[in-house]
């Protein structure tokens, strides 16, 4: 089965899972912080297992100058097993957030944070000014 066929089956058989986790990240210093909201059907598929490929394959996709994928077959490999809710969030971070946000080892500031949705500002009045607070540096 291809990935989309597995997603069709998952959509029919699995109950969507609404996670309270959100991932706040900054991929551009000149833009407000972004918030990633996991999809409930994706979370259900990740936690059931047997649907999603290893996250590494998404980074192996080769795209030509005209925006076409040259090696899409890599997505249809043996799927990974069930994940915990937290492991599914880690998977999504690596899949949907730019790698320079989560893979950097030379930065001295936090670029992303996993939070509960209750920790986000309740009002969106100043949405365009949202920033990740600087981390406290321990002595």
Partner 1 sequence: MSNLTVTNVNGQVDLEGRTKAWCNFNGTGSISTRDSFNISSLVDITTGEYSVNFTDSFSAADYSVSGAAGSRTTASGFTLEAPSRQAPTTGDIRVSCITHTGTITDSDTVSLAIFGDLV
Question: Residue 105 interacts with partner 1 (CB under 8 A)?
Answer: no
Select the residue interacting with partner 1 from 5, 56, 86, 87 (CB under 8 A). 5
Looking at the Cβ atoms of 81 and 137, the one nearer to partner 1 is: 81
Q: For the window 27-46, what string marks contact with partner 1 as x by the rule CB under 8 A?
A: ----xx-xxxxxxxxx--x-
Cα separation, 25 vs 111, in Å, equals 6
β-bridge pairing 112-116 and 21-25? antiparallel
Between 59 and 109, CB nearer to partner 1: 59
Q: How many CB atoms sit inside 10 A of residue 25's CB?
A: 21
- The dihedral through the CA atoms of 44, 48, 54, 56 has a sign that is positive
Cα distance between residue 76 and residue 106, in whole Å: 34
Residue of the chain from 65, 81, 136, 139 that contacts partner 1 (CB under 8 A): 81
Residue 99 engages partner 1 in binding (rule: CB under 8 A) = no
The answer to the question of residue 98 lying near partner 1 (CB under 8 A) is: no
User: Does residue 17 sit in helix, strand or coil?
Assistant: coil
CA atoms within a 13 Å half-sphere pointing along the CA-CB vector of 138: 0
Residues in contact with partner 1 by CB under 8 A are 1-14, 16, 18, 31-32, 34-42, 45, 48-52, 58, 61, 63, 66-69, 72-73, 75, 79, 81-82, 92, 95-96, 117, 120, 124, 127-128
């Amino acid at each position: 089965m291809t990935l989309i066929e597995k997603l069709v089956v998952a959509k029919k058989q699995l109950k969507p899972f609404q996670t309270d986790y959100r991932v706040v990240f900054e991929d551009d210093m000149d833009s407000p912080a972004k918030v990633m909201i996991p999809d409930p059907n994706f979370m259900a598929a990740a936690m059931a297992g047997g649907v999603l490929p290893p996250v590494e394959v998404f980074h192996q996709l080769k795209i030509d100058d005209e925006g076409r994928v040259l090696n899409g077959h890599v997505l249809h490999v043996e799927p990974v097993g069930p994940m915990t809710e937290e492991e599914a969030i880690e998977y999504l971070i690596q899949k949907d957030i730019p790698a320079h946000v989560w893979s950097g080892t030379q930065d001295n500031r936090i670029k992303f944070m996993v939070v509960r949705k209750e920790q986000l500002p309740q009002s969106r009045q100043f949405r365009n000014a949202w920033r990740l607070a600087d981390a406290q540096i321990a002595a």
